Structure 1
Amino acid sequence: MDAEWRARIARADASLQRLEEIRASCRTLAEYVRDRDTAPLTERHVQIVVEAVLDLANLLIERNAWGAPDSGRKAVELLVQRKAISPRLGKSVITWIHTRNLIVHEYARIDDARLHRALRLHLKALRSAVAILSKRAGIA
């Protein structure tokens, strides 16, 4: 089972690497929107990483018998309550969950400026979440 989880983490890490490359090459919004493939590529990699974070969050909750939250937001709030992650990281992850939900369910409303800003300012939180949750779940 842990081999499957390590594969998920490896995929999330690869997506994080690609997001970091996009962030480095698209310092301005104009650079970000210049290539019509950049935004959809960013959206897909964000979706992959956030899904991995949610999966890891739920695995950690399950392994510790902390309950069964019925949403990603509630899972993150429970992790903060149990001191598995900091309140600051929890807030950032919840913001990313909201972004992922927009990508998946309301893709026509995605604001390129907002996603570019999140990529520029808050990408580190996703990398931290993957690292912390995988370690606490005993996978790293």
Structure 2
Amino acid sequence: MCQLFIGADPALWETRLRSVRMHGYATSVRLENIYWRLLGEIAGRDRLSVAELLARLYEELLEAQGEVDNFASFLRVCCVRYLMLQMAGDIPADRMQPIGGLDAPSILARERRRLAGPDDQHREASKAAQGGIAV
């Protein structure tokens, strides 16, 4: 099993520092090459450059959360979620289909249901049966 991972091209986990402009400031982000590749794929789907995608993610995260603690970790999670959502069928595998036009609230609701533990699923079912709003 490990050979599948160990035998990968070492260039995939080498890090690269890229300069980007976010929130009016020039800054740098260091990520492994595999994440830069995925961010390029994500950006390309909506005809954005990677720098434009990062700036947009940063601004929207700042607006939603009020602060951005670890942007590099956030980007890694975005990449993994992108792949997970593709595997679940929520994001089409067709790279020509933009992500921006997808129904984000519905996708997030399905993801929450998939990630919920048995206790959470039972609680949601009970709420629904009692006329409450299930997430």
TM-score, scaled to structure 2: 0.26
Higher-RCO chain (CA-CA 8 Å, sequence separation at least 6): 1
Larger fraction in helix: 1
Larger fraction in strand: 2
Asked which structure has the greater CA Rg, the reply is 2
